[in-house]
A and B are shown apart, each in its own frame.
Chain A
Amino acid sequence: MRAAWRAAVFFFGLGRRAKRTKVFFALGLVPVLLSLLFRMRHALSIAPRGFSGEFFYSNVILPFYVQFLVLMLALFFGTSVVLEEVEGRTLAYLLTRPLSRPAAVLGKFAASAGHALAVLNIGLFGSFLILKIERAGDPSAWLSVARDSAVLDLSLLCYLSLFTLMGTFVKRAIFFGLLFCFGWENVIAFFPGLTQKLAIAHYVKSLIPQPPGQTFSFLRLMLEPSPPLFAVLILAGLTVVFLAAAGLVFSQKEYVTEN
């Protein structure tokens, strides 16, 4: 664990200076900008009637996270854990240190997770404050955003570990990752029976409360949601399994750089 911590500190420092982190920090501010725009329209009384901050948060901001930003953060940070080292030919520096291979993967995963979670939460809490400023004194509002944050964090870690695993053995991991995110994860949700449970998105959406009586929601489940505790256990379990598999693959696989 000490070695993984050393690797995490090293890669966290490297990641702060990486272009990818800067681009995603900018992308992470999109919900904040959208919230600001909404607020301005509201202040100018040009927002549609009944289109409240609450509604905007649940139907625009949250779907943006669940269906786009979480996936993109996980895909680009996750696949880069190993692929970046292989393609950048810096793997030799890592493999010739007194650092076990699983510790190196775990450390870089932790560093990537740190950056991705920061991007996610800064935007989420920023949007919340802008859209629900009137309820800033209400503990239940904070509880609600904390719950959303926890769900998004858990889903991010789950996807991140999956793409970390994918990056250890698939060369065009981003391409296949995109297929997974916008193909499999969306299509499978419309399948009847237990098939929908083969998508990570099913468990994520099971944890997001469906507003009662609301006829329209981007995040509504097509079929039956799983119980919340079961969904949490599945997401946490998958994270552990994907990470362990990534460590195992990385410790057994040799990476040949092309000359």
Chain B
Amino acid sequence: MTPVIQTRKLSKWYGNILGLSEVSLEIGPGITGLLGPNGAGKSTLMKLLTGQLKPSLGRVLLAGEGVWNNPALFRRIGYCPEHDSFYEDTTGRQFLDGLLRLHGFGAAEAARRTESALRLVEIWGDENRLIRGYSRGMRQRLKVAQALAHDPEILILDEPLNGLDPLGKRKIIRLIKELKAGNRTILVSSHVLPEVEALTRDIRLLHQGKIIAAGDIHDIRDLIDAHPHVVALRCDRPRKLAARLMEEPHVLKVHFGPDGLLTLETDNRDLFFGGLPALVVELDLEIEEITSPDDNLQAVFDYLVGK
């Protein structure tokens, strides 16, 4: 398979600050998730892939061509920026129509594509309202619409699910999955693991400017599962619960905190949460709070980089 998106030892510095370090990627058709906490270098990578930034070192190739100062290539690329920025005094329709005209489409074709894209992201009906009056979700969907209105082969979407409500997220996820058809190459970034998981199994993990894992999300999850998870519980009888939990083979450690707070470590998070409701019923406990202090992407990355 010839990679559609290819980077070789790609590095980017902002003065003394390292944005990206020797990133080598090969991405083919289908959906690929780029996962990383805020500040990991996802947006830097995406800006390098779309020719907005020049590499400090290394190369970027899209469909076999260099991307910096190669405007013709943008007929084949759609890009959804991370920033919530627009030409605010235009309507959704004018915005999209104008951008399509920049692609060289004639008036009739631009109008047809504008309507089609706005219908796809469910903004048609509000197309003549000023963008400054759009909700966050509508603005996010409009950004996605401008990325796909010219029907590109390569879609680069920087945090397209940011700021959307659960229903909005579901719609965009469905849309991105539908776009996969037609042999498109779609790269989607996110800092939320379940969002990427809902989109694809093929992911790249980016941390502090470096790719630290690549491949099937389940393999990476297994890798993560090899490390203990921390769960904090607050209940009316923590000692009774602790005694019972220590009988479970997947519970490794239990620690008593103030105000009935119980912090425990488990090497099988799914098994722990699966069995917890039965345990609560069995012991007749009142659980006030359950949190996973390390159930976030940063903790996952900390595990992977061995912190």
Contacts and interface: CB of A to CB of B under 8 A. Distances in A.
Interface of A: 2-3, 6-7, 9-10, 13-14, 17-19, 88-101, 251, 254-257, 259
Interface in B49-100: 50-54, 69, 71-75, 77-79, 81, 83, 85-87, 89-90, 94, 98-99
Contacts of A7: 102
B69 A6 contact: no
A56 B130 CA distance: 44
Contact of A89 (B69, B74, B83): B83
Nearest to A84: B87
B119 interface: no
Contacts of A256: 14, 53
> Which 6 A-B pairs give the minimum distances between C-beta atoms?
A89-B85, A92-B81, A17-B89, A96-B79, A97-B102, A89-B83
A252 to B, nearest CB: 8
A95 B52 contact: yes
Contacts of B72: 98
Given A90-B86, A97-B74, A14 B53 contact: no
Contact of B52 (A9, A10, A92, A251): A92
B101 interface: yes
Given A98-B72, A259-B39, 12 more contacts: A10-B98, A13-B90, A14-B90, A19-B89, A88-B85, A89-B83, A90-B86, A92-B81, A92-B85, A96-B79, A97-B102, A251-B69
Contacts of B104: 2-3, 6, 98
A3 B104 CA distance: 8
A254 B69 CA distance: 11
Contact of A96 (B53, B74, B86, B89): B74
Contacts of A89: 81, 83, 85
A209 B130 CA distance: 48
Interface of B: 14, 39, 43, 47, 50-54, 69, 71-75, 77-79, 81, 83, 85-87, 89-90, 94, 98-99, 101-104, 146
Contacts of B102: 6-7, 10, 94, 97-99
A254 B52 CA distance: 7
A91 B51 CA distance: 12
A257 B69 contact: no
Given A17-B89, A98-B72, A93 B83 contact: no
A202 to B, nearest CB: 37
Contact of B50 (A3, A19, A96): A96
Given A6-B102, A97-B103, A98-B104, A14 B83 contact: no
A98 B71 contact: yes
Contacts of A99: 71, 74, 102
Contact of B51 (A17, A18, A95, A257): A95
B71 A100 contact: yes
A92 B39 CA distance: 19
B86 to A, nearest CB: 7
A14 B89 contact: yes
Nearest to A95: B52
A228 to B, nearest CB: 40
Nearest to B19: A256
Contacts of B50: 92, 95-96
A226 B98 CA distance: 45
B77 A96 contact: yes
B81 A93 contact: yes
12 contacts: A2-B104, A6-B101, A10-B99, A14-B90, A14-B98, A89-B85, A95-B50, A97-B74, A97-B99, A98-B71, A255-B52, A259-B39
Contacts of B78: 96
Contact of A13 (B85, B94, B103, B146): B94
A219 to B, nearest CB: 37
Contact of A98 (B54, B85, B103): B103
A10 B101 contact: yes
A254 B54 contact: yes
A171 to B, nearest CB: 15
A137 to B, nearest CB: 43
Contact of B74 (A9, A90, A98, A259): A98
Nearest to B105: A6
Contacts of A18: 89
Contacts of A259: 39, 43
Nearest to A100: B71
B198 to A, nearest CB: 26
Contacts of B87: 14, 88, 90
A97 B71 contact: yes
A96 B150 CA distance: 12
Contacts of B101: 6, 9-10
Contacts of A10: 98-99, 101-102
